[in-house]
Amino acid sequence: MERSGLSRIIPVILIVIVIVAAVAGLFSVAQTLFFSETEQPAVVDTSRDALTKTDLDRGVRMTVRGSIVGNEDFNSYSITVRPNKRDMTAYVGYLDKSIANKRLGNNTRAYEQFVYALDQAGYMDGTPLTGNANDVRGLCATGQIYTFEVLNGSKSVQELWTSTCKGIRGSFTATRSYIVKLFHLQIPEYTSILRKIDL
């Protein structure tokens, strides 16, 4: 008699345990879905952060390469701006022989305003290309290639480029003419330097 009573109670106890476990599981899932506030991790835009840092080793550089012609007629120039200095150099030949240079001082506040202006203009909006897609050798042979960099010491943290040739867009997506103007305005005598080269 005891065994038959026990054999009836054990299945009932097992069913109650399964029901309690199922209810607890459903409650836990419902609480997770409807009532939990999951904190999203902060997304850090590393390219923007690199651009707007004002440590003395930081900088930005624009390099303009002219048409592909004979060595003696090939011209290019670069403007580099750092928190403590500004520099523009014009080159002749493919080995970058300097033919004109202007060096000026700078300060952190002026640099900060400049890089924030670049940021507002979308200086870092492009996506860097890799491999052959990022190889500008021979591209836009009758036009100009513009390269825009963010520097950490002598190392380029990010490099984007574009060209004046139709159909060769590159990785730079900001308005080129506006960014070029911002760089030129950092060097008051930029026009006299540009007159020494043929672009």
Domain coordinates in residue numbering, the chain: 1-39, 47-194
Cβ-in-10-Å burial (0-12, 13-18, 19+) of 103 comes to: exposed
User: Residue 108 has which token pair?
Assistant: 């952190």
pLDDT band at 44; cut points 50, 70, 90? very low
Under a CB-based contact definition with an 8 Å cutoff, are residues 5 and 12 in contact? no
- Topology annotation, domain 47-194: Mago nashi protein (3.30.1560)
pLDDT band at 152; cut points 50, 70, 90? very high
pLDDT at 4 (0 to 100): 61
pLDDT at 15 (0 to 100): 76
pLDDT band at 43; cut points 50, 70, 90? very low
Query: In whole angstroms, how large is the CA radius of gyration of the chain?
Result: 31
Please report, in angstroms and rounded to a whole number, the separation of the first and last CA atoms in the chain: 108
Closest alpha carbon to 197 in 78, 62, 100 = 100
State how far the Cα of 83 lies from the Cα of 81, in Å rounded to an integer.
Answer: 7
Instruction: Please give the average per-residue pLDDT across 72-97, as a whole number.
Output: 98
State how far the Cα of 43 lies from the Cα of 41, in Å rounded to an integer.
Answer: 6
pLDDT band at 5; cut points 50, 70, 90? low
Instruction: Please give the average per-residue pLDDT across 181-189, as a whole number.
Output: 97
User: Residue 135 has which token pair?
Assistant: 């190889």
By DSSP bridging, strand 155-163 and strand 85-92 are unpaired
pTM of this prediction?
0.76
